[in-house]
Structure 1
Amino acid sequence: MSKRKLTQNQQRRIQSNNIKNLKRHQRKNKKDIDWQDDMLGNSQNGTVVTRYSAHADVETENGEIFRCNMRRSLSSLVVGDKVIWRKGNEQLQGISGVIEGIYPRENEITRPDYYDGLKPIAANIDRIIIVSAVIPSLSLNIIDRYLVICETSNIPAVIVVNKGDLLNELQRKEVEQQLKIYEDIGYQTLIISAETKENMDKLEVLLSSGTSIFVGQSGVGKSSLINMLLPEVNAVTNIVSENSGLGQHTTTSSTLYHLPQGGNLIDSPGIREFGLWHLELEQITKGYREFQYFLGACKFRDCKHLNDPGCVICEAVKMGKIHKTRFENYHRLVASLAENKAQRHFSTS
């Protein structure tokens, strides 16, 4: 007799219960350090350089790093946060101090989580490096998802295609044509190879100022790039699964690294699917930067930019002012947004 396959919602509920039970077990078997005021030194500034589930590593202004607990009053804490913390008079259970406050963020990247709502990933970022790869395939739809996040967060984006050494001449021309779609609307693009070091010098120059963050699906080579940029880090690498074509997660905590040539780089856990269901339709539409010039000029205020009469977006596509691929990807995102919201409503009702 065959076993009945669990639905996706059933799998999520089981996973959620498992996570809750694990957290309950951890709380039961772990005593939190109760930092009293007389156990701590003076307040000082620092930057969160690594975020773990229960702790964070804070770097001082002179470059020292201390592992800290967080006050329960802090709602969220991510890599890149500027914080106020106090060092303990002695180390307790491997913890050196406590974070007491977070300075206002200049910006932040967030992603939706089915169980915890909207979760920040990193803060105070100068540019987002969207890392893609030609294996298993270059997905413009996924690139567009990341670009919507960049636009809504108001953070400049750079599109980097890794594993360029795997392209033959014909494939390279095809990828270059795909990237030209983004270059024509103002995005910087770069084909690189961590294997042959193609254009790695250009990437290093790009990263040499401010704080950058790598985002992208698992298996695109983010950890390999970290190894090349920072050999001493020895980030764990993994090979794309030959069976599924999907990469395995190789980074379990977000970490900020200082680059030798200057600048900082945040490596974030791999994300196979960057959900956008927390965004409203208007935000996704504005997330396509080439649409912005035409918005508000359609005949009807509730124009869906599909088959509506008097739609200036559709007219711009016909005239070649908006690329057809981007237009089609936009409607894929809109359709997936509606589908995901419907599924969430059904699973919580």
Structure 2
Amino acid sequence: MPKRRLSARQIERIRTIQERRRERLASRPERALAELDAEVEPEEGRVVVRHGANLAVEDKEGHVVHCLCRQNIGHPVCGDRVVWQRTADGQGVVTAILARTSVLSRPDYSGRPKPLAANLTRLVVLIAPEPEPSGYLVDQYLVAAESIGIQAMLVGNKMDLLDPEPRLAFQRRFAHYPTIGYPTFWISLREPDSVAVLSAALAGETSVLVGQSGVGKSSLVKALLPDREIQVGRLSEATGLGRHTTSAASCYRLPSGGSLIDSPGVRSFRLGDISRDELELGFRELRPYVGKCRFKDCRHDHEPDCAVRQAVADGAIAAERLANFQHLLGR
């Protein structure tokens, strides 16, 4: 059956209804702010859940409060430190976002940076024997970590899929990463001790997991958070988000100390626009050689007297890393 076409009057009526809904939604924080008791002191807290206009803010005592966000202060994300005030109904309004030490972003549909998580200290890049790892994607993640000033680490998951010899061969493929300073872990959920070592490495940090689809991120999150369902229930009860809590960007407490941010936006993460200078800094092993080539605008491709290509020939830089640099430079 063909779809019924709407008349111009019906289309305009729908637009009017949608605009009224948007106005009501936008005015909610301002109405709540107008009802604040002048004697209520502002507090600092951390955003632990973000779902649309709904925020869950954890106070200094660890209690979680459902909050709305005041207009024109920006867009708080999971991990943000914020200033907020309690309202008479036991909820709250976020009135300011405090300075971020780091923010992980990806480009939106128009190419502008869209923040995903704030105040991270660790970016955990997952790979696995299946699906086939993409070194190009791994290097994008590492460049992103370098550009926002946080430590990245590489985790090879599902190692139980490989027999001893293929396992060693797989690890050798990525041996250049620990050589240039990226901590590397080889784990299996069937080997609890290996997961415990990773958990200890994340203690006291605020981390996020990234990687290709199918590398076992969800299963690893469950292994790192044995009480995840309890934490989800706690956040759901405090915020009233119900089933939406599991699909919202959320910040969980790690049993070893520290936090793990699980954000749906990370699944489609990709590197945004980046300058040549930023890209060179993003490949940390290139830094000692930058500026030492014969030509200032050397692309480290075919130019003579290239210090970077000489470093590759000397074994100081992995050829695959230089190839990925050139690929990113030519995007």
* Shorter-normalised TM range: 0.7 to 0.9
**Higher relative CO (CA 8 A, sep ≥ 6), structure 1 or 2?**
2
Offset at 1:135? 1.3
Out of 52, 73, 96, the residue aligned to residue 101 of structure 1 is 96
Answer whether contact 2:81 2:97 (CA < 8 A) is retained. Answer: yes
Partner secondary structure for residue 265 of structure 1: strand
What corresponds to 2:42 in structure 1?
43
Task: Return the alpha-carbon distance in structure 2 between the equivalents of residues 263 and 308 of structure 1.
Answer: 47
Among the aligned pairs, what percent are the same residue? 35
- In the TM superposition, 1:173-322 aligns within 5 A as 173-197=168-192, 199-234=194-229, 252-269=247-264, 271=266, 274-322=269-317
Is the alpha carbon distance of 1:26 and 1:161 closer, same or farther for their aligned partners in structure 2, counting shifts above 3 Å?
A: farther
What corresponds to 1:69 in structure 2?
68
Partner secondary structure for residue 80 of structure 1: coil
Is the alpha carbon distance of 1:275 and 1:204 closer, same or farther for their aligned partners in structure 2, counting shifts above 3 Å?
A: closer
Partner AA of 2:120 in structure 1: I
What corresponds to 1:244 in structure 2?
none
Partner secondary structure for residue 169 of structure 2: helix
Is the alpha carbon distance of 1:31 and 1:186 closer, same or farther for their aligned partners in structure 2, counting shifts above 3 Å?
A: closer
The reply to whether residue 164 of structure 1 matches residue 159 of structure 2 is yes
Offset at 1:31? 7.0
The Cα offsets for residues 237-276 of structure 1, whole Å up to 9 and x where unpaired, read as: xxxxxxxxxxxxxx73221111122111111226455432
Task: Return the alpha-carbon distance in structure 1 between the equivalents of residues 26 and 188 of structure 2.
Answer: 47
Partner secondary structure for residue 166 of structure 2: helix
Is the alpha carbon distance of 1:55 and 1:152 closer, same or farther for their aligned partners in structure 2, counting shifts above 3 Å?
A: same
Answer whether contact 1:46 1:85 (CA < 8 A) is retained. Answer: yes
Offset at 1:192? 0.9
What corresponds to 1:242 in structure 2?
none
Task: Return the alpha-carbon distance in structure 2 between the equivalents of residues 178 and 23 of structure 1.
Answer: 54
Q: Which has the higher helix share?
A: 2
Task: Return the alpha-carbon distance in structure 2 between the equivalents of residues 227 and 125 of structure 1.
Answer: 20
Answer whether contact 1:217 1:270 (CA < 8 A) is retained. Answer: no
Task: Return the alpha-carbon distance in structure 2 between the equivalents of residues 72 and 169 of structure 1.
Answer: 57
Q: Could you list the runs of 5+ residues in structure 1 that have no partner in the other structure?
A: 1-19, 236-250, 338-349
Query: Which one is further off, 201-210 or 262-271?
Result: 262-271
Is the alpha carbon distance of 1:323 and 1:100 closer, same or farther for their aligned partners in structure 2, counting shifts above 3 Å?
A: same
**Superposition CA RMSD, Å:** 2.5
What corresponds to 1:113 in structure 2?
108
Q: Could you list the runs of 5+ residues in structure 2 that have no partner in the other structure?
A: 1-14, 231-245
Task: Return the alpha-carbon distance in structure 2 between the equivalents of residues 282 and 21 of structure 1.
Answer: 48
Would you say how many aligned residue pairs link Structure 1 and Structure 2? 299
Task: Return the alpha-carbon distance in structure 2 between the equivalents of residues 78 and 180 of structure 1.
Answer: 35
The Cα offsets for residues 163-218 of structure 1, whole Å up to 9 and x where unpaired, read as: 11112223211221022110111110001112443511101111111212212233
What corresponds to 1:7 in structure 2?
none
Task: Return the alpha-carbon distance in structure 1 between the equivalents of residues 311 and 46 of structure 2.
Answer: 46
Partner secondary structure for residue 142 of structure 1: helix
**TM-score of the superposition, structure 1-length normalised?**
0.79
Partner secondary structure for residue 174 of structure 1: helix
Answer whether contact 1:145 1:274 (CA < 8 A) is retained. Answer: no
Is the alpha carbon distance of 1:323 and 1:45 closer, same or farther for their aligned partners in structure 2, counting shifts above 3 Å?
A: same
Q: Decide which structure has the larger Cα Rg and report it.
A: 2
Is the alpha carbon distance of 1:138 and 1:270 closer, same or farther for their aligned partners in structure 2, counting shifts above 3 Å?
A: farther
What corresponds to 2:328 in structure 1?
333
The Cα offsets for residues 82-104 of structure 1, whole Å up to 9 and x where unpaired, read as: 1110111015xxxx211001111
Answer whether contact 1:212 1:266 (CA < 8 A) is retained. Answer: yes
Offset at 1:234? 4.0
What corresponds to 1:80 in structure 2?
79
What corresponds to 2:243 in structure 1?
none
Query: Which one is further off, 292-301 or 159-168?
Result: 159-168
Query: Which one is further off, 296-305 or 105-114?
Result: 105-114
Offset at 1:137? 1.2
